[in-house]
Structure 1
Amino acid sequence: MNSSIRFKLSFMMFLEFFIWGAWFVTLGTFLSTNLSATGSQTASVFSTQSWGAIIAPFIIGLIADRYFNAEKILGVLHLIGAFLMYQMYNATDISMFYPYVLAYMILYMPTLALVNSVSFNQMNDPEKDFSSIRIWGTLGWIAAGLLISFYFHWDAQASAEVGLLKNTFAMAGIASLALGLFSFILPKTPPKVSKEEAVSIGGLLGFDALKLLKDKNFLLFFVSSVLICIPLAFYYQNANLFLSSIGMENATGKMTIGQASEVLFLLFLPLFFKRFGFKKTILVGMLAWAVRYMLFAYGNAGDLSIMLILGIALHGICYDFFFVSGQIYTNSMAGEKYKSAAQGLITLATYGVGMLIGFEVAGFITDNYKLVDGSTNWQMVWTVPAGIAFAVFLLFALSFSDKKITKSNIND
């Protein structure tokens, strides 16, 4: 890969995740402070990510893979996204905001697959080259958080109270406009499927891999993946609001510690996976979710702030040891015939169904523990997902058999 193409792909990844990190991390705080949203209303807004994940395969499979170059679809989606970000910036109540965020997430979620498609199309050895490109996405997310907290100070309590958090949508919109225009000079990525080739809805959603569920261990992993996304949703929906409301300074910037740890533990994952196997690796990931939420439940922004920082830093273990190792396991179980379908099925189960349920549960729990003075009993809000994560940990520990991975029972 020549240096020009490497730069273009790296900059594409940087902007792709800079856009997401620029507004999604502080979304819960914005909804509460700017739009006075309830827990249930906040859950509905966050659930748009899940609807986007469910609808994304149709956009990719029915349009991008068949009729247009991936980089051109990427450009158009981000240009429309810039307009929608501007509308979200101007929204003054939740009823005005929701239609725009729903439309935006339906258009944004497919771009996650499109940037991968553009990247892979330029690589002779994706296993070697992709990580060095993808890491720029994580750096983009980190850069957005650092700008919000340490340069613009939009998440400071005084700034949030006067409504400055809405500027995150303006920043994301400008970046979306930039990526939309930049996409048209990205390397050409023509359609991979002919217009005449038959396509099934089940194939787009990964249903062709349902026969993997005949294996008891994979079925248990599949169910656990859905269930563990319930506590995951609590983090996305409540973490920034929680940290800001209890007085942590520069909360958004400090939350980027989670992305930094994600990069670090991603380097250790292959070694851990090889030495201890899939079951122990994924159990560590599950247990980390329970531990981080108990740290949130009993930490504070004063003398116990280190507990909150540790809880944030555990994100690398929580995400990499469960989700990334789960992708490796799925790939090993599926074989060549069902590899893509299996990954699609797990994505639908986690970011689609699992987090859709999770956001609703998180909204209900948050509303249920509102106090009469309008504050929130955060200790209970975090104890609930900690309990859920620990229950999934026990279910998996007691039921999953860490036998040698075979495909013979699946591909019959």
Structure 2
Amino acid sequence: MSLKFRLTIINFLQFFIWGAYLTSIGGYMYATLHFKGEEIGAIFLTLGIASVFMPPILGIISDRWVNAERLLGITHIIGAAALYYASTIDTPSRMFWAMLLVCATYMPTISLNNTVSYHILKNNGLEPQKYFPPIRVWGTIGFIAAMWLTDLFHWTLTATQLVFAAVSALVTGLYCFTLPPCKPDNKGAQTLAQAFGIEALKLFKIPKMAIFFIFSLFLGAALQITNQWGVPFIDHFKFDPAFANTAGVKYPNILISISQISETVFIVTIPFFLRKYGIKTVMLMSMFAWFLRFGLFGIGDPGGGLFFLILSMIVYGMAFDFFNISGSLFIEREAPAMIRGSAQGLFMMMTNGIGAMIGSFGSGWLIQHYTEDNGTNWKAVWFIFAAYAFIIGIIFMLVFRYRHTPDSIQQPAVH
């Protein structure tokens, strides 16, 4: 078995676990367990909490003490137990702590998986920037495959999705122990201050960097909203006889998976857009794509409005990837070399940590506010999210100053 194929398998499995439940667990809690919007928002808050603390901590452990592939395997096995435990829970308070453990074990494996892949490629004379992107694309394919299986077996509104994810995590954890050793290298070990991006706080003294990080937080609040609420939104149409038997209602995960398929397409277009239009314009495209993502959800339905839902899924690739990758490239170019790693850590904390927490809690509160005995006013919810993204884009366009220099734009690596 070739080295690249072995890495393709681990990347496929890595995101297969997440795809088994991430986009459908919100629907399970909302429609089956009957949790309130605020309670579901609080539970999704665990993803942001875990993203702030766990990746830096496990990154330091792999840098200093434990082989990265072993740590990856151990963490996945613990995560399998956490996922199975979560499948047995039916109260919001216990589910919060169970999902905090699930996220605390899963979120650091994303960066650990990258570390293992980079380490193995470099040790075998293969340049990660060239060979990793086509390997990493199989992670997105794994995510989509798990979503489809969860949908085709009608597990989207049942606890079986968590059992399915648990089995997948156990298989992944065991497979990790078959990978080539990735021994710690203390020469590159980070301190806690570096890992958490604390040293990069000095960048807030530079106006353009301060503006960038502040808007990273604001946009981070939008990143997981449709993953969190997409299935509950589509599921509510089953109570309307006009939509109850439509394919979109029967297979919501397959419909939503178009978003991940879109990611694989837009990733390869990023170098062109960066060279042609520059980082500021690409980030603006992302912000206005979020406006369309939410707005099209507001006017779409699984019947005659299916076209609008599909279009919303398509623009998701631009919304999600254009900001994350171009933002990472902006930091790579603008942050001083000595704190570049810390700056990337701060970017991750602002978007997937603090920003995601704000988005999870805020969206839960908003949906609870627009929910009455006869259901949730989803149109109002999505239009408010769309207005939020539109306002962020307009303000960013006015206050962020950055000159485009086409010759200096290089193809970014996919993370």
SS of alignment partner, residue 191 of structure 1: coil
Q: Structure 1 length as normaliser, TM-score? A: 0.91
Which residue number corresponds to residue 395 of structure 1? Answer: 395
| CA drift at 1:201 | 2.8
**What does the per-residue CA deviation read over 1:362-388, in whole Å, with 9 as the maximum and x for residues that have no partner?**
011000000232x10001111111111
Q: Identity over aligned residues, as a percent?
A: 33
User: Does the 8 A contact of 1:57 with 1:205 survive in 2?
Assistant: no
Which residue number corresponds to residue 284 of structure 2? Answer: 283
Which residue number corresponds to residue 413 of structure 2? Answer: none
> How far apart, in 2, do the equivalents of 1:189 and 1:82 lie?
23
Matches within 5 A, 1:323-342: 323-342=324-343
Residue 166, structure 1, aligned to residue 155, structure 2 = no
User: Does the 8 A contact of 2:55 with 2:109 survive in 1?
Assistant: no
Which residue number corresponds to residue 237 of structure 1? Answer: 228
> How far apart, in 1, do the equivalents of 2:336 and 2:95 lie?
43
> How far apart, in 2, do the equivalents of 1:225 and 1:19 lie?
27
Which residue number corresponds to residue 86 of structure 2? Answer: 88
Which residue number corresponds to residue 412 of structure 2? Answer: none
| CA drift at 1:404 | 5.2
Structure 1 residues 284 and 342, CA, compared in 2 at 3 Å: closer, same or farther? same
| CA drift at 1:76 | 0.7
> How far apart, in 1, do the equivalents of 2:185 and 2:48 lie?
26
Aligned pair partner of 1:21 in 19, 22, 43: 19
Which residue number corresponds to residue 386 of structure 2? Answer: 386
| CA drift at 1:317 | 0.6
Matches within 5 A, 1:269-348: 269-348=270-349
Which residue number corresponds to residue 159 of structure 1? Answer: none
Any stretches of 5+ residues in structure 1 without a counterpart? 156-163, 407-412
| CA drift at 1:100 | 1.5
User: Does the 8 A contact of 1:145 with 1:256 survive in 2?
Assistant: yes
Runs of 4+ with deviation above 3 angstroms: 197-200
> How far apart, in 2, do the equivalents of 1:239 and 1:170 lie?
21
Which residue number corresponds to residue 352 of structure 1? Answer: 353
What is the total number of aligned residue pairs between the two structures?
392
> How far apart, in 1, do the equivalents of 2:325 and 2:139 lie?
16
User: Does the 8 A contact of 2:55 with 2:107 survive in 1?
Assistant: no
| CA drift at 1:53 | 0.5
> How far apart, in 1, do the equivalents of 2:174 and 2:225 lie?
35
SS of alignment partner, residue 33 of structure 2: coil
Any stretches of 5+ residues in structure 2 without a counterpart? 239-248, 410-415
Structure 1 residues 200 and 261, CA, compared in 2 at 3 Å: closer, same or farther? same
> How far apart, in 2, do the equivalents of 1:295 and 1:352 lie?
27
Which residue number corresponds to residue 193 of structure 2? Answer: 202
Which residue number corresponds to residue 250 of structure 2? Answer: 249
Structure 2 counterpart of 1:341, which letter?
S
> How far apart, in 2, do the equivalents of 1:310 and 1:198 lie?
44
User: Does the 8 A contact of 2:63 with 2:189 survive in 1?
Assistant: no
Q: Structure 2 length as normaliser, TM-score? A: 0.91
Which residue number corresponds to residue 214 of structure 1? Answer: 205
Matches within 5 A, 1:150-165: 151-155=152-156, 165=158
Which residue number corresponds to residue 172 of structure 2? Answer: 179
> How far apart, in 1, do the equivalents of 2:402 and 2:264 lie?
27
User: Does the 8 A contact of 2:221 with 2:351 survive in 1?
Assistant: no
**What does the per-residue CA deviation read over 1:278-324, in whole Å, with 9 as the maximum and x for residues that have no partner?**
11111111001011211111111211111111111111110121111
SS of alignment partner, residue 2 of structure 2: helix
**What does the per-residue CA deviation read over 1:115-162, in whole Å, with 9 as the maximum and x for residues that have no partner?**
00000012231110110111110000000111122x31223xxxxxxx
User: Does the 8 A contact of 2:31 with 2:232 survive in 1?
Assistant: no
The farther-off stretch of 247-256 and 273-282 is: 247-256
User: Does the 8 A contact of 1:21 with 1:142 survive in 2?
Assistant: yes
Aligned pair partner of 1:193 in 186, 200, 208: 186
> How far apart, in 2, do the equivalents of 1:335 and 1:8 lie?
36
| CA drift at 1:97 | 2.2
Structure 2 counterpart of 1:175, which letter?
S
User: Does the 8 A contact of 2:68 with 2:182 survive in 1?
Assistant: yes
> How far apart, in 1, do the equivalents of 2:138 and 2:373 lie?
45
Structure 2 counterpart of 1:372, which letter?
D
Which residue number corresponds to residue 261 of structure 1? Answer: 262
